[in-house]
Amino acid sequence: MSAGGFSKLPNGSVVVALTLPSPFAGCGNVRMIVHAVNRARALTRLRNLGMRAVYLRGNAEPPTPDEITAVLHHPDGLIWRTAPDAAAELWHPIRALKRQRPGGRPEASPSPSGV
């Protein structure tokens, strides 16, 4: 089950926050923060990443001011970290979640030379 919410910004855009089950079994939950033009576009961005069953019902867990600041300062406008929030854990770009291997360890990056 997912929980989440949204905040409308003064410029008309929104920040949507969702707590979702981790895509890897046994890894707990992740908190996804998305900046978009509107709520529908934010959910579409997540669905395009393969999270097909993502819905926002209500506004029970809107993004905190820290979450809003973090996503607005990220070039992709889409970040995540494990939930419940670990104070020492930084926000990760969505690419890091897509690279994760089962067991929670990041996949090794390919060498620049391609060898």
- Three-state DSSP at 41 gives helix
**pTM listed for this prediction:** 0.77
- What pLDDT, in 10s, does the model give residues 40-89? 999 999 888 888 778 888 899 999 999 999 999 999 899 988 877 666 78
Structural domain boundaries in the chain: 3-99
| pLDDT score of 55 | 83
Q: Is beta strand 78-83 parallel, antiparallel or unpaired with respect to 29-36?
A: antiparallel
Report the greatest alpha carbon distance in the chain.
Answer: 49
- What pLDDT, in 10s, does the model give residues 23-48? 665 677 888 999 999 999 999 998 88
| Contact indicator for 75, 65 with CB cutoff of 8 Å | no
